[in-house]
Amino acid sequence: MVRESESGTPIQPVYGPEALAGWDPAERLGEPGKYPFTRGVYPSMYTGRPWTMRQYAGFGTAGESNARYRQLIAHGTTGLSVAFDLPTQMGHDSDAVVAHGEVGKVGVAIDSVDDMRVLFDGIPLDQVSTSMTINAPAALLLLMYQLVGEEQGVAAGQLTGTVQNDVLKEYIARGTYIFPPKPSLRLTADIFKYCGAEIPKWNTISISGYHMAEAGASPAQEIAFTLADGIEYVRTAVAAGMDVDDFAPRLSFFFVARTTILEEVAKFRAARRIWARVMRDEFGAKNPKSLMLRFHTQTAGVQLTAQQPEVNLVRVAVQGLAAVLGGTQSLHTNSFDEALALPTDKSARLALRTQQVLAYETDVTATVDPFAGSYVVETLTDDVEGAAVELMRRVEELGGAVGAIEHGFQKGEIERSAYCIAQETDSGERVVVGVNRFRLDAEEPYEPLRVDPTIEAQQAERLARLRAERDQKAVDSALGALREAAEGTDNVLYPMKDALRARGTVGEVCGALREVWGTYVPTDAF
C-alpha cells in the first residue's frame, strides 16, 4: 500500500533517478542565499552561526514572566518570545467583565506601559531580540516596548525583534480579532510605515501558518494560506503608497514543525521558492532581501499528548530537527508538559537544551541544506509546491485572502483536514503513541505549574492605582487625537503612542478604535 503524505500526495516506497527526470537543478534549486532560495536564504546558513533559539514564555503577572525570561537568558536563550493572555490579545483590561477567569492564564497580563516596564526589568533591550505574539493590538504592545526602550536609554534604531501582527489568520483559524478586516489591514500598513520611519530594524509582521496547522491544516494548506495572507499584506502596503522594497525585507513568517520530517523539510523549501517567485514576478521586487522568506518555527503543540508526556521530549526533538533541516531562522521548542499545564522551569530548560543538542552535538550545522538533491525530498518539495500553488489559485479566484475569508474558504478547508485527522486517529489508522497504541494502564503522577488565582485581583488593584495617579486630561486628549486619526487617514501609531505614554490602558486605546472602526462579527459562512 502506498502511503500518503500529510498533504495527500503519495509517498513511494522507493525513489530513484527517474523521480527527477527532466528536472533542472539550476531552476529548482539554485545556490544557497540566491534566487529561488530553495536551499536557504543565506549562503552559509548554520555553518556561520546557529539559528536564534527562542523560548515562547509568558504567564501570570509581568513580574513572574520577567523571572522566567531571566532564567531562560541565563540558560542560553538568544531571543525572547512573549506570550500574552487572552484579555491582552483581545484588547481588554484585566478588570473588564469579559476578562474574568482568563487573566494571566495563557500568557502574561499587560494592561499598560507600567506592566511592560516590569516585564523587561533588568533586561537590556539593545542586547536581546524580542518576538511578541500579538495580533489585533500589535501596535500597542510594540509602542509600549519602544517606550520602555526609551526609558532604558535605548534608541529605537537599536531595537530588534518581531511583532506577529498577522490579523488575517485570526479570521481563519484562531479568533482573537477585534476590528473588521479592512481597518485591521489599514492598521497593519500604519505599522509598516511607522517602523520604516522610527524602528528600522524591527520585523513588522510574522505571517503565521502555525495556528492554521494547529487547527488542522495540512502542510500544503499551511503554506498556501499563509503566503496568500502575505500577498494581501503586500498589496495593502503598496496600495497605501509604499514601495515594495522599502518594507518587504522586514516581513517574516511563522510555521509549525511536525514529526513528519521529510514532508516538513519539503514544505519549508517549497515555501521559500513560491514566495521568491511571487515577490519577483507579481510585485517586481528588486532587492534580493525582498524575495527572501525568513521564518520562525515552533514545534507542533497539537501533537503533544497528555498521556505519557515524557514521550513529547522525543516528538519535540524530531520536530526541531525537521525545522533545522528545513532552514529555519529561529526556533522555539515546546516543553514536554504543555499538554498538561504551563511549562515548569525544568521542562522549559529541557526544551532549550533540545535545541542546544541539535546545534552543538549533531552535524546538521556542518553543511547547508543537507537534503539537496535527495530523490524523495526534491519530489516532495515539488509535490507540496504544486498543491500549495493550486490552493493559492483558488484563493485568488475568490478575490484574494480577504475575499476567501469572507467566503469561509480557508476555514472550511482546514476544518475538513482536521476532521480527517480526527477520524484517522479514532480508527487507529493514524498512530499516536500512548493514545491509541502503546498505552499504559495507569499514568504516572505529575505536578503541574499553576497560575496564582489572585492575579486577576492584583491586576485590578494595579489598574485602579494607575487611574488614580495619572493625568486623566492628558489621557483623554491623546485618546481623542487617536479617534480623530482613525476617522481620517493619518498614521494612528503616533497618537496611540502618546496615549500609552500618558498611561492609557490597552482596553482604553482599543476601545477608542472600536468606537470608530467597530468590531468584527463572523459571517454565517464561518
Q: What is the pLDDT of residues 123-181, one digit of tens each?
A: 999 999 999 999 999 999 999 999 999 999 999 999 999 999 999 999 999 899 999 99
Q: In this structure, are 362 and 459 located in the same domain?
A: no
pLDDT at 362 over 50: yes
pLDDT of 443 reads 85
For the record, the C-alpha cell of 281 comes out as 514576478
Residues 59 and 141 in one domain: yes
Residue 2 falls within a domain, yes or no?
Answer: no
In a domain, 196, yes or no: yes
Are the C-beta atoms of 120 and 512 separated by less than 8 Å? no
**336, 482: one domain:** no
Per-residue pLDDT tens digits for 442-498:
888 888 778 888 999 999 999 999 999 999 999 999 999 999 999 999 999 999 999
Backbone phi and psi for residue 42, each to the nearest 5 degrees, phi listed first = -125, 145
The pLDDT, as a whole number, for residue 525 is 44
| % of the chain surpassing 70 pLDDT | 99
Residues 474 and 423 in one domain: no
Express each pLDDT in 374-394 by its tens digit.
999 999 999 999 999 999 999
257 and 186 inside one domain: yes
- Location of C-alpha cell 503519495: 10
Whether 14 is in a domain gets the answer: no
Q: Compute the average pLDDT of residues 180-185.
A: 96
For the ranges 406-415, 436-445, 488-497, which has the lowest average pLDDT? 436-445
Grade residue 25 by pLDDT with cuts at 50, 70 and 90: confident
389 Cβ contact partners less than 8 Å away, ≥ 6 residues apart:
224, 274
User: Tens digit of pLDDT for each residue in 241-297?
Assistant: 999 999 999 999 999 999 999 999 999 999 999 999 999 999 999 999 999 999 999
- Closest by alpha carbon to 120, among 160, 44, 72, 66? 66
Domain match, 173 and 229 both: yes
526: pLDDT strictly greater than 70: no
Whether residue 487 is found in the same domain as residue 366: no
Q: What are phi and psi of 307, to 5 degrees?
A: -80, 135
Torsion of CA 104, 105, 106, 107, to 10 degrees: 20
- The answer, yes or no, to whether residue 235 has pLDDT greater than 90, is yes
**CA nearest neighbour of 326 among 257, 224, 230, 251:** 257
Domain that holds residue 155: 37-427
Q: What is the pLDDT of residue 1?
A: 64
Q: Are 269 and 29 in contact (CB under 8 A)?
A: no
* Residue type present at position 40: G
Under DSSP, the state recorded for 437 is B
Half-sphere exposure (Cβ direction) of 135: Cα atoms closer than 13 Å: 23
Q: Please determine, for residue 67, whether its predicted confidence score (pLDDT) is greater than 80.
A: yes
**What is the per-residue DSSP string for 263-278?**
HHHHHHHHHHHHHHHH
Q: Does residue 447 lie within any of the structural domains?
A: no
Is the CB of residue 177 less than 8 Å from the CB of residue 265? no
Evaluate whether 53 touches 352 at the Cβ level (below 8 Å): yes
Whether 433 maps to a domain, the answer reads: no
For the chain, what is the domain count?
A: 2
For residues 414 and 464, membership in a common domain is answered with no
CATH number at residue 176: 3.20.20.240
Q: At what angle do helices 311-325 and 345-360 cross, to 10 degrees?
A: 40
Residues 206 and 349 in one domain: yes
